[in-house]
Amino acid sequence: MSTSSEPTSHSPVRRTLKAKPFSRADRMFFGVARSASYFSVILIALILVFLFIRATPAFQSQGIGFIFGSNWNTSNPHHIVMQIGPMIWGSLLISVLGIILGVPMALSTAYFIEFMAGKTMARVATLVVDLLAAMPSVVIGLWGLVVFTPVASHWAELLHKALGFIPIFANTSGNFSASPFIAGWIVAVMIVPIITSISREIFSQMDRELINASLALGGSRSSTFFKVVLPTASGGVVGGVLLGLGRALGETVAIYFVLNLIFKVNWFNIIENQGGSVASMILSKFGEASDAEISGLMAAGLVLFVVTLVVNWIAAYIVNKAQPWRKL
Amino acid sequence: MTDLSAQPRPARSPWETPNPSRAFKVAAASTIPAGITTVLTLVFGIDPAVSVLLIFVPLQVIFAIAVGRNVAGKKGQGDAVLMFTSVFFTVLVAVLLTSLLWSIISQGFSAMSWHFLYQNNVYIDPTTSLEYGGVGHAIVGTVLIVGLTTLVTVPLGILIAVYLIETRDKSRSTVRTLVQAMSGLPSVVSGLFVYSMLIVSGVTTYAGWAGSLALLPLMLPTVARTAEEALRLVPVEIRNGALALGSPAFRAFWQVTLPAARSGIITAIILGIARIIGETAPLLLTTFAAKNTNFNVFGGPISSLPTYLYQYVSNGYDTSTQRAWGAALVILLLVAILFTATRIIAGDRKRPKKKA
């Protein structure tokens, strides 16, 4: 028994099975599928190449100042200045604010749904979070403009009164609306459902035995959460946060509604009535853009795309690493 | 003699027995801080935001620690704080979401009427009263644009999924990575791409099909990935069984795999539609907005619900904001319908799996 099942040196070399489509119909079927896939590859390459070609004149005429400078003046056709430094910085500032505000909310909600709520409550909460994830951003933007801005500018005013001596909460204009603070909240409302659903998914797929072992060894719920659940799930959570960051960077219309776009770097005065966002800037400028200006907008779009791509790739890598049980 | 007959099991596990003093303490700790805060806020007229942050949160933390320590010893402190933090932020999320939903529903219904759903925007100024005009043309536009995109994207997405699942090509991981990268394409960049390629260069004027083209790269990754997941769920035995019975691969796919994955594929389609139905920026750059009802996707500006909303928000008058809320409600209803459909279909898919 034991000898027959063990491989010996006399056993034949293992054959590799190769199935190739042999009928014409099959070849056509797989050919169509293959060409559809290659079409998607070509499409993304086409977008990148086209953006790059159209953006080149702007990069050439503006040089490195395109990314770091802060001026946009296209009134004189012989001397066009296009520098989007404040917009890039503004996009990053808003995204970071959104993540600072959104991550605690998202993690708490995920913890509540997965570990605290009863079955019915958890189902309702999941449904609601998923519905929020499907909410179009333009609708959130409308809500942000009409309903949320008055409330949030009141909060910002209180912050300024209490903590105005700290530069972050300084405000010289006396106008608390249309600030990065409000845009950050709006972004938070958009990314909370994304981060929540990914974290919840990861929490729920975690090995229950790990948690039970920690509890059985005398760990409290909080020490179990911070020392067992979070470290195990950290990869997935970070990936979810980065996916949210990708969404925040590309957010256009909602931020356009609630933010005052100014071509002057607002380093960290988050409740000042000025800020920037690359995507919203593109939307605000394209209408009456000349050919040279469109090239500048293309360059801005390219910068945004590349940043988002990098963020997304890192996110996908981390999420896949964090879920070894998920086969590709 | 000792009684060796079986004893009835206790109805509850020991840790589930009710403990009145503990229940009382927990109830007290969860209500007293809120009560004190409410009273102080009302008596001294403190701003609610300030009182929540400076009175309620510290008080509640102190109470939670005290009761946690009293009930479960040192171990209970951290648990109580964690529990409070979790509930606090969850309630914050719930409040934000409720505010969002409630304002859309209440404000939207005040603009809603039957003619709002079918009339178009000709002869309507930003200040025209709500008795005239509506989003009929925008609904038509959204259906046409999204429909055209769906018509092109769904076969493409399913074919990509087929390529990723059914073939063993070497470039599968490249395709998968690039499709995933496509999902990171900012929507405004997609719109700018089509705007610059087709409209600035004069291939076409503002038109519905340009909008559909701009939406394609946004919808494709969603459809492809979800369809891939759906095809992956089909047991490999069924597929191999069909092949072993001598059917060609395309027939096995068409008659066995695809029907088995039907609900998943439908979910993929619906999720894809939900992804693009509210996209605004790409449509603003490619279809613009029209006042009249345009049934021709291949010519002339065409309005859609998101661009209609955008247009009326930018106007700034009260009635036009009302119209924007009405459009928001229509979008929300469309999303909710799609969402419910997904839930029902996904539920159908999961039930037999659990039985097995």
Domains of chain B: 20-111 (no CATH), 136-355 (1.10.3720.10)
Give residue B355's pLDDT: 36
Is the confidence at residue B353, as pLDDT, over 50? Answer: no
Strand partners, A83: A71
> Are B89 and A108 an interchain contact pair (Cβ–Cβ within 8 Å)?
yes
Rounded to the nearest integer, the mean pLDDT of chain B is 85
Q: Inform me whether the pLDDT recorded for A1 exceeds 50.
A: no
pLDDT at A92 exceeding the cut of 80: yes
ipTM of the complex: 0.85
Q: Kindly state the DSSP code that residue B36 receives in the 8-state scheme.
A: H
Q: What 3-state DSSP class applies to A70?
A: strand
Residue A236 CA to residue A323 CA, distance in Å, equals: 7
Q: Domain A86-276+308-322: which CATH class? A: mainly alpha
Beta bridge mates, A261: A275
Range A173-191 average pLDDT: 89
Backbone dihedral region of B133: left (phi > 0), alpha (psi from -120 to 50 degrees) or beta?
Answer: left
Place of tokens 């063993």: B168
Q: Do A36 and B103 touch (CB under 8 A)?
A: no
Residue whose pair of structure tokens reads 């319908």 in the numeric block: B337
Residue pLDDT, tens place only, B138-176: 999 999 999 999 999 999 999 999 999 888 888 888 898
Summary mean pLDDT of chain A: 84
Give percent of chain B above pLDDT 70.
Answer: 96
A52 touches chain B (CB under 8 A): no
pLDDT at B356: 35
Residues 6+ apart with CB under 8 A from B241: B256
Predicted local distance difference test score (pLDDT) of residue B89: 92
Name chain B contacts of A192, Cβ cutoff 8 Å.
93
pLDDT digits (tens, 9 = 90+) for B226-268: 899 889 888 889 988 988 898 888 888 889 998 888 888 888 8
Residue in B307, B316, B311 with CA at minimum distance from that of residue B278: B307
pLDDT level of residue B352 (50, 70, 90 thresholds): very low
Q: Beta strands A81-84 and A70-73: pairing type?
A: antiparallel
pLDDT digits (tens, 9 = 90+) for A225-243: 988 888 888 878 888 888 8
Averaged pLDDT for residues B99-126: 86
Query: According to DSSP H, which parts of chain A are helical?
Result: 2-5, 24-62, 65-68, 85-111, 119-133, 137-143, 149-163, 180-205, 208-216, 221-224, 230-250, 253-258, 278-285, 291-322
Cβ separation B196–A298 shorter than 8 A? yes
State whether B197 and A50 contact (CB < 8 Å). yes
- Specify the pLDDT at position A3: 46
Q: Which residue has the higher pLDDT, B48 or B82?
A: B82
Are A37 and B306 an interchain contact pair (Cβ–Cβ within 8 Å)? Answer: no
**pLDDT score recorded for residue A328:** 46
Residue B145 contacts residue B287 (beta carbons within 8 Å)? yes
What is the spatial distance between Cα A185 and Cα A155, in angstroms, rounded to a whole number? Answer: 12
Rg over alpha carbons for chain B, rounded to the nearest Å, is 29
pLDDT of the residue at B214: 93
> How many Å apart are CA B72 and CA B300, to the nearest integer?
71
A218 CA: distance to closest CA in chain B (Å): 9
CA distance to partner chain B, nearest, from residue A116 (Å): 8
Q: Which two tokens stand for residue B260?
A: 């088995």
Nearest to A251 by CA among A316, A186, A176: A186
Q: Are B132 and B301 in contact (CB under 8 A)?
A: no
DSSP-based three-state secondary structure for A261: strand
- Nearest neighbour of A37 by CB, restricted to B83, B163, B325: B163
What residues contact residue A103 under an 8 Å CB cut-off, 6+ apart?
Answer: A195, A241
pLDDT band at A323 (very low <50, low <70, confident <90, very high): low
Does B104 score more than 90 pLDDT? yes
The whole-angstrom separation of Cα B285 and Cα A279 is: 13
Identify which has the larger pLDDT, A283 or B181: A283
Q: How many whole angstroms separate alpha carbon B157 and alpha carbon B163?
A: 10
Closest CA to A142 of A275, A255, A272: A255
How far B6 CA sits from the closest chain A CA (Å)? 29
The answer, for B166 touching chain A at a CB cutoff of 8 Å, is yes
Q: What is the pLDDT of residue B142?
A: 92
- Among A53, A220, A245, the residue to mutate for chain B (most B Cβ within 10 A): A220
Does residue A6 carry a pLDDT above 70? no
Per mean pLDDT, which range of A10-24, A171-185, B41-55 is the poorest? A10-24
| pLDDT at A42 (0 to 100) | 92
Mean pLDDT of A99-115: 92
Phi, then psi, of A325 in degrees rounded to 5: -75, -10
Contact (CB, 8 A) for B280 and A280: no
Q: Tell me: the pLDDT tens digits for B204-214?
A: 788 889 999 99
Domain range annotation of chain A:
86-276+308-322
pLDDT band at residue A324, thresholds of 50, 70 and 90? low
In this prediction, residues A72-85 reach a mean pLDDT of 80
Question: Over 50: is that where the pLDDT of A77 sits?
Answer: yes
